Amino acid sequence: MEKNNFQKQNTYVSEEEKTLNWEEIQKSFKNTFGTEIYNSWLQKISLIKEYNDFLILGVPTRFFRDWIVSRYLDKILEEVKNFKLSLNRIEFKIIEENNQPSEVLKLNEISKITEIKDSIVNYNRLNPNLSFANFIQGKSNDIALSYSKKVCEHLSRYNPLYVCGGVGLGKTHLLNAIGLELQNENNVMFISAERFMYHFIKSIKKNDMLNFKDFFRKSSVFIIDDIQFISGKESLQEEFFHTFNSLMDKGSQIIISADRVPMKLDRVQDRLKSRLSGGLVVDIDLPDVDLKSKIIKKKILEIESQFKESINLNEEVINFIASESKTNIRELIGVLNRVIAFSRVNNKILNISDCKKILKDAFSQTKVITVDKIQNVVSNFFNIALSEMLSQRRSRPLARPRQVAMYLAKKMTTRSLPEIGRRFANRDHTTVIHAVKTITRLSEQDDEMKKNINQIKSLLLEQ
């Protein structure tokens, strides 16, 4: 019985949903991308279907789609995530207007075609806002920040620099800042692993691998974001391994980000993992309240200067938002935007109880944490099979993750101890108590354990 239940919940089905207000999102596109880009491109995107984890967006032509995908996709996804955290993918559908073939482009688009020399070049844009100057230092990112700066001063001394940490903690921001710092005097390539794959596949299809290799190997600073994406993709790993080696051979600086340390990368060749950890690995932890408050204040100043308006959030409200937002900085900024939007629309200075209400709405659509989910995330995190984690075997590599999962089940769900015991292959509630005690003690004494618990929590809250 239990087992069947498991399997059912394990198969993740995307359900159609309607929670997004597309007009509101369009407004945020306009703010983020600026009027010019908005008017020529983003305004024409429509929402066709919304699922719990992805969106289908409508665009007028194929050309239009390629343009958007090659230049704005990551940012669009980041933006819509502010409205719905569970989204992780966007698909496009071409809606042909008046039955015109999609190749027939409008005049204003034709003028833009000449700008596309190479979609890779177009994508390799750094965001001027994600600079060191705009990156706030805190306890959780101190080391990552200082080595990111050092890399800029001494190219190739720390090679590769590998920045890791959970989602929304500032990895892309730091990588982008390094790119900005170095771009004037170096040939900087900045790309996400996902884009790297997109070009890789495109080049294979077009039988154009030579160009691909050439293009990526000529950079003197190669920055690749979210390398965990290569998990399980053998041929991509192969290609990346060669790119990596040839860049290292010619002394290029490589900077990499990922959601975990190299050795924990799942389904990645060992030789690649060892290359990735061959330089310096730095990580970013969850922010504390102090850093979160500083970021909120900085964001408020940015918005005030950008929109020439004053935003009235008092210290108490700022602290409240900072301590209430528990997952990551991206979410924190999303919540802040909601609060500001609310105060704009209602033209009022917000107090704590308004904020409570807004935050409640903001958080309510996400995060129903179940024992099943905890078990899945924990077993994935520690790279062991779920069945093994639940088995009766007592070896340390299985017992610890099992205890972590029990501990989190106690802390993050409302299940009772006996119920939790039952969900772990019918164990006794005293076993659960023992697990909770052990992990509580370890997470106080052992930094590694503390960090693991935090990362798993943020994975759970993010999903």
| Residues at the site binding ligand ADP, with contacts judged by CB under 6 A | 130, 134-136, 141, 165, 167-173, 295, 329-330, 333
Q: Which does 136 bind (CB under 5 to 8 A by kind): Mg ion, ligand ADP, none?
A: ligand ADP
Please state, in angstroms and rounded to a whole number, the distance separating the CA atoms of residues 157 and 394: 44
Tokens of 391: 């088995």
Q: Choosing among Mg ion, ligand ADP, none, which partner's interface includes residue 60 (Cβ < 5 to 8 Å by kind)? A: none
**Which residue of this chain has its Cβ atom nearest to ligand ADP in the complex?**
170
When the beta carbons of 70 and 172 are compared against Mg ion, the nearer one is: 172
Q: Which is nearer to Mg ion, 84 or 171 (CB)?
A: 171
> What are the φ and ψ backbone dihedral angles of 54, each rounded to 5 degrees?
-150, 165
120 binds, among ligand ADP, Mg ion, none (CB under 5 to 8 A by kind): none
Q: Which is nearer to ligand ADP, 272 or 329 (CB)?
A: 329
- Residue closer to ligand ADP by CB (options 227, 435) is 227
In the bound state with ligand ADP, the residue whose beta carbon lies nearer, of 295 and 412, is 295
Q: Shortest gap between Cβ of 141 and ligand ADP (angstroms)?
A: 5
For the sheet with 46-50, list strands across it. 46-50, 54-59, 89-94
Backbone angles phi and psi of 47, in degrees to 5 = -95, 120
Pairing of strands 89-94, 161-165: unpaired
Least CB distance to ligand ADP at residue 328 (A)? 7
From the CB of 75, what's the least distance to ligand ADP, in Å?
10
Residue 458 as a binder of Mg ion (CB under 5 A): the answer is: no
* CB closer to ligand ADP, 171 vs 410: 171
How near is the Cβ of 169 to ligand ADP at its closest, in Å? 4
Q: Which one-letter DSSP state was computed for residue 117? A: S
Residue 333: name its binding partner from ligand ADP, Mg ion, none (Cβ under 5 to 8 Å by kind): ligand ADP
Beta bridge partners of residue 223, listed in sequence order: 190, 255
* Shortest distance in whole angstroms from residue 88 CB to ligand ADP: 12
Q: How far is the CB of 259 from ligand ADP (least distance, A)?
A: 8
The number of CA neighbours under 13 Å toward the Cβ of 341 is 16
Q: How far is the CB of 226 from Mg ion (least distance, A)?
A: 6
Which entry of ligand ADP, Mg ion, none binds 83, CB below 5 to 8 A by partner kind? none
- Euclidean distance between CA atoms 271 and 279, whole angstroms: 14
- Tokens in use for 295? 């970021």
Instruction: Output the smallest distance, CB 295 to ligand ADP, in A.
Output: 5
Residue 172 or 452: which CB sits closer to Mg ion? 172
Give the SS3 label for residue 45: coil
Interacting partner of 449 out of ligand ADP, Mg ion, none (Cβ under 5 to 8 A depending on kind): none
Strand 89-94, strand 280-284: pairing:
unpaired
Question: Token pair for residue 78?
Answer: 């980041």
List the one residue out of 302, 225, 462 whose CA is nearest residue 367. 462
Distance CA 208, CA 282 (A): 36
Identify which of residues 321 and 406 has a Cβ nearer to ligand ADP in the complex.
321
DSSP labels for 123-143? H----TTSSSTTPPP-TTTHH
Do residues 311 and 300 lie in contact, with contact meaning Cβ atoms separated by under 8 Å? yes
d(CA 4, CA 372): 12
Q: How far is the CB of 68 from ligand ADP (least distance, A)?
A: 19
Q: Which of Mg ion, ligand ADP, none does 169 bind, CB closer than 5 to 8 A by kind?
A: ligand ADP
Lookup: tokens for 316 = 């108490």
User: Which tokens sit at 293?
Assistant: 């408050």
Interacting positions 168-197 with Mg ion (CB under 5 A): 172
Indicate which of Mg ion, ligand ADP, none lies near residue 334 (CB less than 5 to 8 Å, by partner kind).
Answer: none
Q: Residues 349, 343: contact at Cβ < 8 Å?
A: yes
Site residues for Mg ion per CB under 5 A: 172
